[in-house]
Structure 1
């Protein structure tokens, strides 16, 4: 069936972070044509109606049709402990994260949390995400099973640790390699799913485990690899003590084959000049997690300096991040940029949560934008979802001024409809 979504439309012809806000485009009365899970065409509503007269019409009025949000770094097993009070990173892991992750060897519990997380994500307009699981294979199976049932494009991997974690959350270099390989062979490129090789971060992996995962990545270079990098200054000091021979934090990955063009490095706040240069040379991607960075007190990501030179995605970092909403995450990214005296335009914020995250995950040719041939992951937003937003947007003199209050103040009430792979789920 061919379907026609009518409303305002936002789409991109380039990267607003590099090309300026002019790379973003708004159609005030637009239409998006969808068939067989893909976007067939977009344009003015009248032209789409005339060209596709047999299409089933979904008229969203003044609703804004956008590519679905893409969350480039989440920990779905932390769903139940989101917004836990008052800890720095290492204390937060020990007090909240590790005790909760111990439960994910139970397939039923893992399935319950996976389904809860994905439903919450979809409620907030997030149609794709890249998630850490736990050391348990059951946690990976639960996540991918739930994502596949919803038709989602999703990325995830077994989180590998063999030191500085509780007994029930440590594996071995051999088991990390063997289980990761088995999961990869079962799930990678099945339906819309992608396996991601996942050492949690250097402090929780011995050199032998990092070497084993580097070897696995070398055998499957088309896979993504995700980890954490330079999130907090005390974490960096910890890494220096654990790896005294390393030039810097990034070198603890590079030395074991875990630096490459398909690498995703979360946080990356306190980078050394050498690290930035090597990340650029390798065409790696950084993932900005602004609500997490403020909630846990990590620091201020340098978007203005890094985004013109590297691929940068945006992420909630659930549950270190304090919200499931990519709208709230955009607002936090704006606030952090303001503190660095480099404000981000609404078009740049929207791009970070859609096309930029897709490019970070190496799927910018498939999702993250509205263009003919792309997969039909779409959301529709109400730009007057609450009285305070409605009264502010009503005074706007431009589309971007009308959109900005939704970025800064909206929540899941702004999400009117969610389409995944051309199928209406919400």
Structure 2
């Protein structure tokens, strides 16, 4: 075994193999070989004795965060237009902003800033929408790959019910999507994902073509589902043959036929919840954006109790921050608010939501988000100012999640490789 193949971190190791509790290893060694975790040891095994150790002292070692839904192209419009609700916000701000990505110079500038902020915030894997523009989508992939961030990136598809300057020719949209797939499908870290923006902006022909691509190339799918009451009504008007919103995606093989993430899932019928469970579709909770656009609160506990898989997303720019720790906080707070009115919905705990932000969301990428043997070493080293009262590792984690900043993250690893920052 070559020394360069092994990474050893020493410190207070905290992660969530299961939702209900944390695993804590104080003053222990986390060892990875070829990017994958070999084990956690209180005493370093003999075969690793001559390999250098990154000693984190009293710091924490936790898994990197996984953001399952964001719009990289909306990074520049954070905080703008948030007095609107969803459909007006798209019309007044978002489509106009995304149109700027026809300029590769603008795309490069924005996507570089987005990627650096993702890294700063401790996000090691991200599922991102780009725009309809093939060239600028390629630029986003190149920047993420160069910086070593794990990602699924979608070239957005929309050919109906949108401004003329953002409306694609259906066949050209499919052709450019297929070209993008060919270019990135074999990359080890940054991969394509099928991305119909949402049902109202896609023709039946486009949805059918995208479903065929997902099946042919065995690609995952991302889109939006049941975010806003007006949006749901619009879908019913546009697709009267479908009783439920999710059935639009389902009939075009974009709902679990390959791994699928659907953002928001705020207004969900019992039938829709059952279909998500049966098709193993992942619901992505985006608390900031749902509050900012007055969309509602995802019934997260209800989804979990009904066997639906859930991850977390920042949803820039309807969300105003790429901080996954703050997304964790908002998720817990909103679950407490719902529990006041929905007595059957117990508030979520920190371990449960930390799990969603690491291993739960990481499952979409494979063996990601935990420190169990065989998992990819995506890790953050957290060092905070000494507290007035000594804190246990779990207390340090609580304080970081609620009060920490990117400055507390002193090292970042993705696939066992340290990310320069």
The question of a shared fold, defined as TM-score above 0.5 by the shorter chain, is answered with yes
Alignment map for 1:140-159 (pairs within 5 Å): 140-159=137-156
Tell whether the 8 Å contact from 2:199 to 2:248 is kept in structure 1 after alignment.
yes
Matched, 1:37 2:31: no
Q: Distance in 1 between matches of 2:310 and 2:287?
A: 12
Q: Greater CA deviation, 92-101 or 373-382?
A: 373-382
1:318 is aligned to 316
How do residues 106-185 of structure 1 correspond to structure 2 at under 5 angstroms? 106-185=103-182
Shift of 1:51: 5.0
Within 5 Å, which residues of 2 pair with 1:39-58? 39-44=37-42, 47-48=43-44, 52-58=48-54
- Residue equivalent to 1:403: 397
* 1:375 aligned onto 2:376: yes
**Which residue number in structure 2 is paired with residue 202 of structure 1?**
199
Please list every run of at least 4 consecutive aligned residues from structure 1 whose deviation after the TM superposition is greater than 6 angstroms: none
Contact 2:125 2:149 in 1 (8 A): yes
Q: Post-superposition shift, 1:154? A: 0.9
Superposition deviation, residue 127 in structure 1:
0.8
**SS in structure 2 opposite 1:159?**
coil
Q: 8 Å contact 2:16–2:351 — kept in the other structure? A: no
Which residue of 342, 355, 360 maps to 1:356?
360
Equivalent of 1:4 in 3, 8, 11: 8
**What is the match of residue 342 of structure 2?**
none
The whole-number CA distance in structure 2 between the counterparts of 1:195 and 1:117 is 18
Which of residues 172, 189, 192 in structure 2 aligns to 1:192? 189
1:214 aligned partner = 211
Contact 1:140–1:158 (CA under 8 A) maintained in structure 2:
yes
Is 1:331 matched with 2:340?
no
On the 8 A contact 2:14/2:393 being kept in 1, the answer is no
For residue 303 of structure 1, what is the aligned residue in structure 2? 300
Query: Structure 1 residue 273 and structure 2 residue 277: aligned?
Result: no
Query: Comparing 123-132 with 52-61, which one deviates more in the overlay?
Result: 52-61
Cα distance in structure 1, aligned partners of 2:120 and 2:46: 33
Matched residue SS, 2:79 = coil
1:414 Cα offset (Å): 2.4
Aligned with residue 74 of structure 1, among 70, 74, 84: 70
> How far apart, CA to CA, are the structure 2 residues paired with 1:49 and 1:319?
47
Equivalent-residue separation in structure 2 for 1:272 and 1:164 (angstroms): 26
Q: Give CA deviations for 1:110-136 in whole Å, capped at 9, x if unaligned.
A: 122221111100000001100001000
User: For the residues of structure 2 that align with 1:344 and 1:275, how far apart are their CA atoms?
Assistant: 22
SS at match of 1:48: coil
SS at match of 1:307: helix
Query: 1:223, 1:48 → 2: CA distance?
Result: 40
Q: Distance in 2 between matches of 1:340 and 1:55?
A: 50
1:202-254, Cα deviation, whole Å (9 max, x unpaired): 1111222212212222222x211000000011111121122222101111212
SS at match of 1:340: helix
Distance 1:199 1:277 in 2: 23
Contact 1:268 1:301 in 2 (8 A): yes
Deviation at 1:3, TM superposition (A): 3.0
CA distance in 2, matches of 1:9, 1:400: 10
Q: How far apart, in 2, do the equivalents of 1:99 and 1:251 lie?
A: 30
Residue by residue over 1:13-71, the C-alpha shift from the partner in whole angstroms, topping out at 9 and shown as x without a partner, is: 3x31xxx22xx301121221234333333222xx1275521121211112111111110
Q: Please, which of 71, 84, 88 is the counterpart of residue 87 of structure 1?
A: 84
Give per-residue Cα distances to partners, 1:316-362, cap 9 Å, x unaligned. Answer: 11111111100010001011111122222221121111101012x2x
Which secondary structure state, in structure 1, belongs to the residue aligned with residue 401 of structure 2? helix
Distance 2:186 2:349 in 1: 35
